[in-house]
Chains A and B, each alone.
Chain A
């Protein structure tokens, strides 16, 4: 029998981890002479209590959903794709090229086209490490992390030397045409009387992200391909016995993963900046790893974890703005959350398992 009921594994363990991280963070905040309760209130206020706060939280969450899904899909094939950052950068290039050079009639056709372009560019960036892993056994962790640096350099070169408009100082592309600009939540939900999500960057790609959660769930748990990805991830020797090609699964899983990471650029580039800038990814590719870990590589888990990290990002920004708590401390708090939910998972899990076993024995 499994040691714990499924709900405890999926809900209780992350919740307790989170609580522990919060307690530790509170201690740190006390340590620098601030009031943790007030700080927490401020975070909640800033991130969740106003619609514009939600607008930021959801904007960040959108990034994390995409990169979290990307890492999760690769995880199912037991591939550790930490190249989400680079794949998203190159995905941004795909978005920019599609938006700048194709005359789209309106935003939803543009979104569709840019989505395909972003996914293709991101997937292509994942293809080379995938191929090297599948055929040559070059470790995917090493290659993808190196490809992050290459992506940054490539993007830098292209922005500075090719895509930068004449006379502009900024290493960025020109502004996308009107038809290729996505409606923000402000555009979508504000009425004449009340302005909603004022100034917030959240935009229609959030819904695309949620849809991708569903799509990934279907892919992993309902299709042949997902079955093969999971089989391969759990046991390569068994996959070979069953006639599942390790090469094919490695490449396909990485292409999907890279595609999802690339799609993150829709949110930052097309939805928010409306042009491609350097460092548009803001480290979201790496946060995706934590999101996937915390979300147990399940799309629903990824969605929830992404929301949490969105809250931490936005709440942290508020803290830095309104208190003496330095920006760096926010990073510490985020790190603690990652530490407890990812790395120290067993610290929470094992005592819990014992508790459940003891309870069952009594029953």
Chain B
């Protein structure tokens, strides 16, 4: 469909090229709420266009209009310069638009192939379609690093791979325009990194990509142009290179935003919460907590950093009383029951532990309940709010109104159902409930997830205020910025263990990034000055060498001394995370030359090393990664079962780049491979 624009595509800046997508004056209202107001936007072919805005700014509505889920009240849509009606998603697909939803639309117990052809079958018999799809998938995998085992069952795939299937689905339907709605929300940093490499490849092939997100960092890293939405209006469209995160944030909320939090130095007192050797094995038999020990002192915030899924949620659940674990927990010196009848949320609250759970939709609030009913949730048995046999609803309502006033919940209407509040205001209701109980200990999980920037400031202030009142606060967050700005001490969790504790002023994102990847020996793991130590040519070269080595796996590998056992090489590949690919070929292409460092020579610098060691790595990899069982490599670090043992290769450049805001200029080229770092201490075998 691009034939008309094929020629000018070589210079997309020419004004004569019709934009891939052009929206003119799109408006859409839901009842009294104007979700989109007169929005116009134009996206050039072959670019990545970011749309950023707070929750509820209207980003998703706009994209739903483009994909035919909603009908705009007014306005026009032009695809490749031609006005197009998009009454439903079928029409959108026909127009070459593909959408990757935040929550994937995959049939869990179908294979990848079956999912890809679903709705795009060629005839009544499946076999020809499946065969055709297999060929197309293979080709796409080569073109875009979109490697997924076509015969894998979806539910066995990691989230990152499932997302790739979604992208493949769109490409299989010949999408030229790809819309991704908050694609990284569910991904680990390494998976996110891989995704952006895929997007980059797609862009190079002339595909147009719209990236919806509220993460400034992703916009800065990945996009060519960016549009900012605020309250249903498009406030600005700028070239990404010509703006800054601060400027974007300001445009998003319409005022200057302090990304830093003002706080006094902590005045820690005695330990209030002491945890010793906490262990938890889930119902699948996977050990989620492997002997956690930590203390939280009065008047301090202990931040738990870590990639999601490394046991932080389980830790909160155990402390909050709704998961069973073994070990010891002491509150103000007194041990609490960890199992049986006296271990539940009620008993924890009685001991002065308040808990702002990670997921306010599933746990923190009852969405259909009114705000006032939610303000006593979990504390509803408190004798103070009973009158005789009944609950004193009048008193609860009055108290709720006061709490909502104090916590600036908008609208301050206690009779409104919780689901009718925005994310930030819902979170304020939860915080108001927990903080106003004046607990000794506050557990906070992801306090600002899905919360708009204005509310983030307020929530952070409240947490710090509680700290200054001498309470012990345990903060779990996957946002490293948040951990840094709030915590007085930072503990890093990886694979159900605490990898280390740091003082924020004495550490940096890179060091934490290493710990989050399970590497404790940060002193020895020398970082290259630049995460992009390897040039394009070098990457190319390394990849070629690898490919060769792959082809002739007979080659005698130049195995480092301590890497002789196959398990060690497996370990390496498992932990490379983004590189843990379907087939060995990918593993190499992706993660590129994971170089191996031995105990004996722990600090070879990355520059020299990559070239010399790359072939060795490839050689080691090939015998242990048979084609037959490609999907056994999990990208989820939690699945790593064996204790840290041997080698590890981590694509650190990608990791730190995704985790920190301080490296806004991450190049788009996919050469994060260049600085793999291994630590002799770490590793694990695939579960």
Contact = CB atoms under 8 A, between A and B. Distances in A.
Given A227-B391, A234-B366, A243 B31 contact: no
Interface in A203-239: 218, 222-224, 227-228, 230-231, 234-235, 237-238
B366 A224 contact: no
A223 B390 CA distance: 5
A230 B370 CA distance: 12
A130 B337 CA distance: 28
Contacts of A361: 29, 31-32
B358 to A, nearest CB: 10
Interface in B21-76: 29-32
Interface string B8-23: 0000000000000000
A203 to B, nearest CB: 30
Interface string B366-380: 111100010001101
A238 B390 contact: no
Contacts of B322: 240-241, 243
B32 A241 contact: no
B378 A243 contact: yes
Contacts of B381: 224
B344 interface: yes
Contacts, number: 79
B390 A243 contact: no
Interface residues of A, number: 24
B365 interface: yes
B58 to A, nearest CB: 17
A289 B357 CA distance: 36
A243 B369 contact: no
Nearest to A245: B344
Interface stretch (B259-267, B345-353, B518-526): B345-353
A224 B386 CA distance: 9
Contacts of B346: 242-243
A155 B321 CA distance: 45
A83 to B, nearest CB: 26
Given A241-B320, A241-B357, A242-B345, A1 B31 contact: yes
A235 B31 contact: no
B355 interface: yes
A237 B380 contact: no
Contacts of A228: 380
Contact of B345 (A2, A234, A240): A240
Given A243-B349, A361-B29, A223 B391 contact: yes
B417 interface: yes
A20 B416 CA distance: 32
A180 B433 CA distance: 53
Given A224-B386, A243-B345, A243-B347, A231 B366 contact: yes
B391 A241 contact: no
A41 interface: no
Contacts of B367: 234-235
B131 interface: no
B249 to A, nearest CB: 29
A136 interface: no
A230 B363 CA distance: 14
Nearest to A237: B362
> Of residues A228, A237, A245, which shows the largest number of chain B Cβ atoms within 10 Å of its Cβ?
A237
A133 B416 CA distance: 33
A229 to B, nearest CB: 12
B680 interface: no
Given A235-B366, A237-B362, A227 B380 contact: yes
B389 interface: yes
A3 interface: yes
A357 interface: yes
A129 B430 CA distance: 35
Interface in A156-212: none
Contacts of A3: 31
Interface in B376-401: 377-378, 380-381, 386, 389-391, 393
A238 B362 contact: yes
B391 A231 contact: no
B364 interface: yes
Contact of A238 (B32, B377, B380): B377
A235 B373 CA distance: 14
> Of residues B30, B349, B391, which shows the largest number of chain A Cβ atoms within 10 Å of its Cβ?
B391
B156 interface: no
Interface string A330-363: 0000000000000000000000000001001100
B55 to A, nearest CB: 17
B362 A235 contact: yes
Interface string B414-443: 001100100000000000000000000000
Contact of B366 (A222, A223, A238): A238
A231 B357 contact: no
A2 B377 contact: no
A234 B418 CA distance: 12
A224 B349 CA distance: 16
Interface string A233-264: 01101101111110000000000000000000
Contacts of A227: 373, 380, 391
Interface in A27-65: none
B430 to A, nearest CB: 10
B378 A242 contact: yes
Contacts of A231: 366, 369, 377
Contacts of B364: 238, 241
A231 to B, nearest CB: 5
A164 B276 CA distance: 67
B349 A238 contact: no
A243 B320 CA distance: 9
B449 to A, nearest CB: 16
Contacts of B363: 235, 237-238, 240-241
Given A227-B391, A360-B31, A243 B366 contact: no
A165 B389 CA distance: 46
Nearest to B386: A224
Contacts of B355: 241
Nearest to A231: B366
Contacts of B345: 240-244
Nearest to A357: B31
A218 to B, nearest CB: 7
B391 A2 contact: no
Contacts of A235: 362-363, 366-367
> Of residues A3, A228, A235, A243, which shows the largest number of chain B Cβ atoms within 10 Å of its Cβ?
A243
Contacts of B30: 357
B378 A241 contact: yes
Contact of A243 (B29, B344, B391, B393): B344
A243 B321 contact: yes
B371 to A, nearest CB: 13
B579 to A, nearest CB: 34
> Of residues B29, B366, B390, B417, which shows the largest number of chain A Cβ atoms within 10 Å of its Cβ?
B366
B314 to A, nearest CB: 14
B580 to A, nearest CB: 30
Interface in A86-107: none
30 contacts: A1-B31, A1-B416, A2-B420, A222-B391, A223-B391, A224-B380, A224-B386, A230-B369, A231-B366, A234-B366, A234-B367, A235-B362, A235-B367, A237-B359, A237-B362, A238-B363, A238-B365, A238-B377, A240-B345, A241-B355, A241-B357, A242-B378, A243-B321, A243-B344, A243-B345, A243-B347, A243-B349, A243-B378, A360-B31, A360-B32
Given A223-B390, A223-B391, A227-B380, 20 more contacts: A2-B417, A222-B390, A228-B380, A230-B369, A231-B366, A234-B366, A234-B369, A237-B362, A238-B365, A241-B357, A241-B364, A242-B345, A242-B380, A243-B346, A243-B349, A243-B378, A245-B344, A357-B30, A357-B31, A361-B32
The 10 lowest CB-CB distance pairs between A and B, nearest first, are A243-B345, A243-B346, A242-B378, A241-B363, A243-B344, A357-B31, A237-B362, A222-B390, A240-B322, A234-B366
Interface of A: 1-3, 218, 222-224, 227-228, 230-231, 234-235, 237-238, 240-245, 357, 360-361
